Amino acid sequence: MCRGYLLRPVFNPIYQRITSFLRDLGEVSLLGAEVVRSFRLNRPSWKDFVYQLHFIGVKSQSVVITTGAATGMVLCAQTYFQFHKVKMDTATGAVVSVGMSSELGPVLAALMLTGRVGAAMAAELGTMKVTEQIDALRTLAAHPVDTLVVPRLLALLVSAPLLTAEAILVGITASWLIGVKLLGIDSAYYLVNMNRYTIPEDVFNGLVKSVVFGVIIAMVSCNKGLTCRGGAEGVGRATTEAVVIASISILVTNFFLTLFLARLIKG
Amino acid sequence: MIEVRDVHKSFGTQKVLRGATLTIAKGEAVVIIGRSGGGKSVLLKHLIGLLPPDRGSVLVAGEDLACMDERRLLQVRRRFGMLFQMAALFDSLNVYENVSFVLRRERRHTEGEIRRQVAEALEMVELPGIEEKLPSELSGGMRKRVGLARAIIYRPEIVLYDEPTTGLDPVAGDRIDRLIRRVWEQLHVTSIAVTHDMKSARTISNRILMLHEGVIYADGPTDSILGSSDPLLHRFVNGISTPQNEGP
């Protein structure tokens, strides 16, 4: 008994982490089931969808373009510095292109979307929850999932791959500018090698990942907002948890998606 | 029309309702009184299915809300309108969009019809011509009146009011009371309010229920409850505290 008492401080946080993870997983699963039900029973609101598309897709462009450009430039410079030692300067474009298309483009765009869009979703829905606006929706015979979650999810499903494609394109262009104009790599070799080693599946993988990441951001953020408790502190906590959980989920899912998609393509 | 049978509700270890039982007939104007934090709002939210009971049943027109899922409850809620304590207007929508929310979702009204009905509803709450304002531009009393317009625009059979005069000055509170009375008289709705404002209770009800320690302690016509000689009721109605801080 004494030993159990001593071990409690060690095991209690682990136990709480596990139960919290399982609770979140259960809540997101239930939310997912309700979203499927909503798609079956209702026609999503076109107006809400367009509004969210503007907020998520159009207004996130500056963040995503900046991230894509910065990543492309840094990756190009670092790759060049290492490859230059073994006289493989012209392979830089290929490394940047493959890296941006299949890994860095989708993951970094998703992380930036989590910070900008996921946090906003959790905070907005959380505020609506604590100010009884969600209850008001329900009394007006409107299901919160139909009204709030579905338009956001649809907008992310459309926006995430487009923004990822934009990040990839901007990253590769920025790397070309740095590689050719600043570091002196021959442009023709840079582009030929890039084309030779970047296969369409790399871009496909990146876009598939971005769709999955879009679903993760929407579901985790909406769930945290809708289950928010307490006042301003609760909204702050829900927002932080949404960003942390969605970010970690994206990184973990990315690893498994990479393995799965590689196996799928190899057949 | 509404029947609450032996409803229990706890939040963690705190027991809020301990077997509340009541019946409300069609067309009544009922006020539920009781101490702050005594479970009045929780009871009100049970009536519209916003909270499920831990035990017991809530019947609306013979249908048990406790046995329904959220989507089935949405259909039952079409009978209800509700005015929340802080009005709960949608921040991102202007007054017109807030008040017309239900009509626009139904997708069976023309824009002209919706505009006319919104104008009528705002006229009824004595706020004509504020359609384009945002909730953040309104005072507390105006927000409540817009909330009331939103709750009655689709002509519900039952209107619920959660602390309708809380946070308002006496004049604004009196105005809300008169509107609630007018809605009850003109629209022939069943009116159910929770409040601890005795002046408001006198104006808007013809029957008062007192919730005390999770059960309905008293039930009767407004005048008899407000004039009751029962020590607990008398102290509560007249706002008399006890030295030992026991009871209301």
Q: Which one of B50, B81, B85 has the shortest CB-CB distance to A138?
A: B50
Enumerate the H helices of A198-231 as residue ranges.
200-226
How far lies A261's CA from each of A84, A202, A204, A207, A224, in Å?
32, 10, 10, 11, 29
Whether B53 is covered by a domain: the verdict is: yes
Residue A165: enclosing H or E segment and its boundaries? helix A150-176
Pairwise CA distance, residues A125 & A132, whole Å: 11
pLDDT of residue A6: 72
pLDDT of residue B180: 93
Say if B68 is an interface residue toward chain A (CB within 8 Å): no
For the sheet with B2-11, list strands across it: B14-24, B2-11, B55-60, B63-64
pLDDT of residue B66: 87
Residue A1 pLDDT > 60: no
**pLDDT per residue over A125-154, tens digit each?**
999 999 999 999 999 999 999 999 999 999
pLDDT of residue A73: 96
* B chain contacts of residue A143, beta-carbon cutoff 8 Å: 70-71, 74
Measured in whole angstroms, the distance separating CA A214 from the mean position of its chain's CA atoms is 5
Domain hosting B197: range is 1-76+190-248
Reported confidence tier of residue A2, pLDDT bands at 50, 70, 90: low
Residue A234 to chain B, least CA–CA distance (Å)? 17
Q: What percent of chain A has pLDDT over 70?
A: 98
How far lies A88's CA from each of A66, A79, A83, A195, in Å?
28, 10, 5, 16
How is chain A split among helix, strand and coil, in percent rounded to 5?
90, 0, 10
Residue B139 pLDDT > 60: yes
Reported confidence tier of residue A15, pLDDT bands at 50, 70, 90: confident
pLDDT of residue B108: 85
Reported confidence tier of residue A43, pLDDT bands at 50, 70, 90: confident
Whether B244 is covered by a domain: the verdict is: yes
Residue A3 pLDDT > 90: no
Residue B247 pLDDT > 70: no
Indicate yes or no: CB of B48 within 8 angstroms of CB of A141. Answer: no
Residue B217 pLDDT > 90: yes
Residue A3 to chain B, least CA–CA distance (Å)? 29
* B chain contacts of residue A131, beta-carbon cutoff 8 Å: 86, 88, 91
Residue A78 pLDDT > 80: yes
Q: Which range, A5-14, A78-87, B163-172, B232-241, is most confident?
A: A78-87
pLDDT of residue B56: 94
Whether B69 is covered by a domain: the verdict is: yes
Mutate to test the interface with B, among A41, A139, A235 (most CBs of B within 10 A): A139
What is the rounded average pLDDT for all residues in chain A?
Answer: 93
For residue A147, which of A34, A25, A56 has the smallest C-alpha distance?
A34
Q: Which one of B77, B84, B151 has the shortest CB-CB distance to A132?
A: B84
Say if B217 is an interface residue toward chain A (CB within 8 Å): no
Whether B227 is covered by a domain: the verdict is: yes
How many CB atoms lie under 10 A from the CB of residue B47?
23
* A chain contacts of residue B81, beta-carbon cutoff 8 Å: 139
Report whether A73 contacts A99 (CB < 8 A).
no
Residue A217 pLDDT > 60: yes
Pairwise CA distance, residues B11 & B17, whole Å: 10
pLDDT of residue B138: 94
Residue B248 pLDDT > 60: no
CATH of the domain at B214: 3.40.50.300
Pull the structure tokens for residue B186.
């003109």
Residue B246 pLDDT > 80: no
Residue B225 pLDDT > 60: yes
**pLDDT per residue over B39-77, tens digit each?**
999 999 999 999 999 999 999 988 999 889 999 999 999
DSSP for A37-94, please give it: HHHHH-PPPHHHHHHHHIIIIITTHHHHHHHHHHHHHHHHHHHHHHHHHTT-GGGHHH
What is the rounded average pLDDT for all residues in chain B?
Answer: 91
Residue B18 to chain A, least CA–CA distance (Å)? 24
Whether B200 is covered by a domain: the verdict is: yes
- Average pLDDT over every residue of B72-92: 93
SS3 for B3?
A: strand
Whether B239 is covered by a domain: the verdict is: yes
Whether B130 is covered by a domain: the verdict is: no
| Total structural domains within chain B | 1
Reported confidence tier of residue A14, pLDDT bands at 50, 70, 90: confident
Residue B244 pLDDT > 70: no
Q: What percent of chain A has pLDDT over 90?
A: 83
Q: Which one of B77, B86, B105 has the shortest CB-CB distance to A139?
A: B77
Reported confidence tier of residue A71, pLDDT bands at 50, 70, 90: very high
